[in-house]
Amino acid sequence: MNYSFSYRFKVLGLLVFVMGFTISSFSQDTIQTVVAQKGDGILSLLRKQGVNPYDHYDDFISLNIENLRDSIHLYAGRTYRIPSAELDTVAIVDSIQSKTKEIKKIEGKVYPIFGEDYEIVLPKSKLLKGAVYYLVSGHGGPGPGAMATYGGKSIAEDEYAYDITLRLARELLAHGAEVYIIIRDENDGIRDERILEIDHDEVAYPNKTIPLNQVARLKQRVDIVNSLYKKNRGKFQRLIVTHIDSRSVGQNIDVFFYHHEKSRNGKKLAESIHKTFQKKYKKYQPNRTYSGTFEDRTSLYLVKKTHPAMTFIEVGNIKNKKDQRRILEPENRQALAKWISEGVLLDYKLGEIGPIR
């Protein structure tokens, strides 16, 4: 089987206590509320209420948009509405497990690369069945990429680009895609911290040492992707490269998408994700104009040399204080991954345009 990293089937014994929940917990007619505590984020708040944060992230924002700072951050001490959840999507948390009497079984796949807390991926749909995605996060190994300081600690581009890439991979897998994570760190996993510790043990798929020389590093990635592309010839294939820009300290940027100037399918992919971001900003930040663009940029090495239709994404400027909020907050990294995945779904729905490239 052509899976990019090992998995094993796992049947979860999800114990659901049906009788002990209050009516408001999962009723479609009554909305449960909770007061945010200091340090709470959207992900942690939903998780503590037994609601899968990744399935109901957008629902939470829609319910509470008028009570969020920058349309995404909680205010400590304020009351927030929790979206109703199907029992099948309830996360396994201690507060639920301690009250359970009825067993529901959910079949998931285990991908250890996502880390212990996120390794189980439950299926959401088969919308991407038959599609192959190559995900490359910028830099890694001996090259951490752009560097900055936050709260007296060093932060590096490669750690945040990798975390977003893992979250994106998890979303795509949940919709039935075949995913190859090209730059990999087997012991990091998805992390919900603001400050992601820097290390240099990343490797290139399947387990290749990443060269120090920049050109050699890029060529290695091109060779890996093009080899896999040849192996999967005839399938719907896309490449997504994720970077964090390092422009001048004072310049913040929105998310930008680049594609090969001669690739109609690459343009379609970039445009599909870009349109998704425009729609999300209009919905969740109506008072803020989204200035990100999609355009051809064939001068970029990976854009020019790789064979699959692709988009190269810049998610922000790690040296800018405003962009740092977008990058450092785990809720924001999850939102970025979720929105990119929705653009990917749109691209796949639209199908191929002419030649594969």
Q: What is the pLDDT of residues 66-76, one digit of tens each?
A: 888 866 789 99
Mean pLDDT over the full length of the chain: 83
pLDDT band at 311 (very low <50, low <70, confident <90, very high): very high
User: Which of 41-50, 122-131, 249-258: highest mean pLDDT?
Assistant: 122-131
Whole-number percent of the chain with pLDDT over 70: 78
User: Does 127 score more than 80 pLDDT?
Assistant: yes
Residue-wise pLDDT tens digits, 187-244: 999 999 999 999 999 999 999 999 999 999 999 999 999 999 999 999 999 999 999 8
* pLDDT computed for residue 22 by the predictor: 33
Report yes or no: 175 and 124 within 8 Å, Cβ to Cβ: yes
User: Does 88 score more than 80 pLDDT?
Assistant: no
Residue-wise pLDDT tens digits, 231-245: 999 999 999 999 987
User: Does 255 score more than 50 pLDDT?
Assistant: yes
pLDDT band at 323 (very low <50, low <70, confident <90, very high): confident
More confident: 220 or 25: 220
pLDDT band at 285 (very low <50, low <70, confident <90, very high): confident
User: Does 13 score more than 60 pLDDT?
Assistant: no
* pLDDT computed for residue 36 by the predictor: 93
pLDDT band at 288 (very low <50, low <70, confident <90, very high): low
Looking at residue 251, the DSSP 8-state letter turns out to be: -
pLDDT band at 16 (very low <50, low <70, confident <90, very high): very low
User: Does 7 score more than 70 pLDDT?
Assistant: no
* pLDDT computed for residue 160 by the predictor: 97
Please state, in angstroms and rounded to a whole number, the distance separating the CA atoms of residues 239 and 51. Answer: 32
pLDDT mean over 286-310:
79
For the chain, helix, strand, coil in percent to 5 are: 35, 25, 40
Q: How crowded is residue 223: how many other Cβ atoms within 10 Å of its Cβ?
A: 14
Please state, in angstroms and rounded to a whole number, the distance separating the CA atoms of residues 170 and 114. Answer: 8
Strand segments (E) across the chain: 8-16, 32-35, 79-82, 102-110, 120-121, 131-137, 147-150, 153-156, 178-181, 183-184, 203-204, 208-209, 236-245, 256-259, 294-296, 309-317
* One-letter amino acid of 210: I
Residue-wise pLDDT tens digits, 39-49: 888 888 998 88
pLDDT mean over 22-34:
53
